[in-house]
Amino acid sequence: MRSSQYLRSIRICLSIFIVGLALSGVTAFPLVHETAWLASLLHAHPILPPAIILWIDRVHQALVDESIHAPFLAYGTDWLAFAHLVLAVAFLGPFVDPVRNKWVLQFGLIACAGVPALALIAGPIRGIPLPWRLIDCSFGLFGAIPLLVALHQTAKLERSRQ
């Protein structure tokens, strides 16, 4: 492969990762509306086990109650959303110059590795059902895939420039 092909492959992987981070961030803002929509969809088309649908109903009701009685708590998820967006911007560095900024890819992989740890440790403490924790774990796994490919292609790009 030529340098331009490595760079194209890296940019495709990073585009997937950046869009995923940005979507994760943006969707953390309208949680009440999203959970209402999801609960409505799942009641109309019950494609998930009843226990998961009940969990989504419970989460939605808690978010509704919070928005009425303690709207300031949503400020925490606003910061979560902001963090996702800021992290997405950080990956523009390797998008532009992957060799110089490969440390960002390594940082991203470390963060992805931490996702299952957080989900499996904090999840039970917070009363999160196991199936939901496994879904959360999948974000770390699926996030790591494009980063691993991008890091591998970055190493090839670096060697091709020497």
Spell out the per-residue pLDDT of the chain, length 162, in tens: 799 999 999 999 999 999 999 999 999 999 999 999 999 999 999 998 999 999 999 999 999 999 999 999 999 999 999 999 999 999 999 999 999 999 999 999 999 999 999 999 999 999 999 999 999 999 999 999 999 999 999 999 999 988
pLDDT at residue 63, as a whole number: 97
Tell the residue number behind the tokens 């591998």, with chain if given: 152
21 and 142 Cβ atoms separated by less than 8 Å: no
In angstroms, the first-to-last Cα distance of the chain is 14
d(C-alpha 80, C-alpha 28), whole Å = 7
pLDDT at residue 162, as a whole number: 81
pLDDT at residue 22, as a whole number: 97
2 alpha-carbon distance from chain centroid: 31
Rounded to 5 degrees, what are φ and ψ at 129? -60, 150
d(C-alpha 153, C-alpha 83), whole Å = 27
* pTM exceeds cut of 0.75: yes
Q: Could you tell me the CA-to-CA distances from 140 to 55, 90, 112, 129 in Å, in that order?
A: 22, 17, 4, 18
